[in-house]
Chain A
């Protein structure tokens, strides 16, 4: 089982290495954008999918990360410092945003995070002296590592890919560690978890902090990728978009957010011929998906697999027998 996962991951990485070769700059840009959003969605998947804490503020963490990185790199510091500062700051802010989750849950929590996102947007827009206001910040340099420039699009892609693989590995490590088990326990039955010695307060705060730090990391990539950031890119609607990525892909599944991000970022490029109708079709398909498979595309996949695979009838009978 574990071996199969490893092989799958290696094949995936190989495909990602080969994917941009011979492609136009724009396509490579879209792929970079997908990897970047996958990292942000991974973070939300940890907070929401694994730990069960609703957050509608992931875009604001991308924003905070992007602005911090931009300001530092524009001031002449190397990108790595921007990246570290972005992750560190979003970790701390995420931790603070987690405090309301200790008091309120579900829809209330959703609205606190929603309000937080709006406030971050307003600060970014209004504090012109630092953030450049509605005009945003431009001209962030792309970093250079050991003499290798990431300015060419293909080089930048491999730079993003490395960060993506690191993030995915860290994510995998966390969700497969005892922490990951504690996150799931928090999602499934917080009272029982607490009675088994799980410090649910600490775990809740960590779920927010780590998830947000992934958002900050994504923002640190966005700054040199787009080389232009403005508050509108981090408005509430983008948090909802990331939520869509997570749930459409499959919340609580490792590959869910990557798949979801692909649907939101890459699919539109293939559906360009539908012009303005794309979003309508997309929204319609999301509703249909939610009706048929609330656990997202991964859930849909396993549903279809189960249909074609013969059931292990023996075991089911045993379960029945024990019940009688």
Chain B
């Protein structure tokens, strides 16, 4: 076994005549925090959806933990150890924060039968409380998730992505719409989680400040191809990247 969590090999995808992604390959190792950036229309969302199994690439293959994700349903991908967050708010509004987080872990416990006849929390209350504590949501534990502020719901969303102990977490624009205080809090928690559990992250994000300070490695896409790759400092000073962003 290698330490490669995510392996992307020669992915191409076009819609009609437009090549959204052309021949992209890269690997992500255990514990890495990879930022995927690029101007609008650079193909990062397409690539992201290929990793999620929601789009079938024209050529190439995506492997997670040495298994191909082609044609895999979201639930199966999750069972394979992939957690994710969504761009838009994605909590269960009429369930309490605790219930939201227990739900995120319960399908990984036991079988359908034990989930019917076993304890109603699937034995996860203690673990969920730890997660709630980790994301500093204790005071909101029994509130309806839908009544929380935007930033708080983002935290719940992130907590849910981690609940099943995934080896890879895909974060889809986590900073979008979150205010500065919350953003610092979110970044701090994500970093802490990565440090403590060695979980691999792949982050798509527009907020440069956020990406640069969170990620250990960054890949820049433009017009469907990788134009640069490196540490945040290298990317910051890369002329091609500056051109791609400023020159449009």
- A interface residues, Cβ below 8 angstroms from B: 174, 176-182, 184-185, 188-189, 191-200, 202, 252, 315, 318-319, 322-324
Contacts and interface: CB of A to CB of B under 8 A. Distances in A.
A170 B139 CA distance: 33
Contacts of B78: 194-197
Interface of B: 73-75, 77-79, 84, 86, 90-95, 99, 102-104, 106-109, 112, 115-118, 120-122, 139, 143, 147-152, 160, 163-164, 179, 182
29 contacts: A174-B116, A177-B115, A178-B102, A178-B121, A179-B112, A179-B115, A179-B116, A181-B99, A184-B95, A185-B92, A189-B91, A189-B93, A191-B86, A194-B73, A194-B74, A196-B78, A196-B160, A196-B164, A198-B103, A199-B107, A202-B112, A252-B94, A319-B148, A319-B149, A322-B149, A322-B151, A322-B152, A323-B179, A324-B179
Centre residue among A174, A184, A188, A324 by max chain B CB count within 10 A = A188
B115 A192 contact: no
Nearest to B185: A322
Given A194-B73, A197-B79, 10 more contacts: A177-B116, A178-B109, A178-B116, A192-B91, A195-B75, A196-B78, A196-B107, A197-B108, A197-B164, A323-B151
A124 to B, nearest CB: 33
Contacts of A202: 112
Given A197-B78, A318-B139, A323-B151, A178 B106 contact: yes
A82 B117 CA distance: 26
- 4 tightest A-B CB contacts, nearest first: A197-B107, A323-B149, A178-B115, A197-B78
A225 B173 CA distance: 60
A196 B124 CA distance: 15
Contacts of A184: 92, 94-95, 99
Nearest to B106: A178
Main secondary structure of the interface of A (DSSP, over half): helix
Contact of B92 (A192, A200, A315): A192
B86 A192 contact: yes
Given A184-B95, A319-B149, A177 B120 contact: yes
A189 B103 contact: no
B74 A181 contact: no
A311 to B, nearest CB: 13
B120 A176 contact: yes
A198 B150 CA distance: 24
A252 B92 CA distance: 14
Contacts of A315: 139, 143
Nearest to A252: B94
Contacts of B102: 178, 181
Contacts of A323: 149-151, 179
Contacts of B152: 319, 322
A252 B94 CA distance: 10
A191 B73 CA distance: 11
A196 B104 CA distance: 5
B149 A182 contact: no
Contacts of B94: 184, 188, 252
Contacts of B93: 188-189
A250 B107 CA distance: 28
A182 B139 contact: no
Nearest to B93: A188
A315 to B, nearest CB: 8
Contacts of A322: 149, 151-152, 182
A196 B103 contact: yes
A48 to B, nearest CB: 14
A154 B125 CA distance: 45
Nearest to A322: B149
A174 B118 CA distance: 11
Nearest to A174: B116
Nearest to B145: A188
Contacts of A180: 120
Centre residue among A191, A196, A315, A318 by max chain B CB count within 10 A = A196
A194 B104 CA distance: 10
A178 B90 contact: no
B124 to A, nearest CB: 9
Contacts of A196: 78, 103-104, 107, 160, 163-164
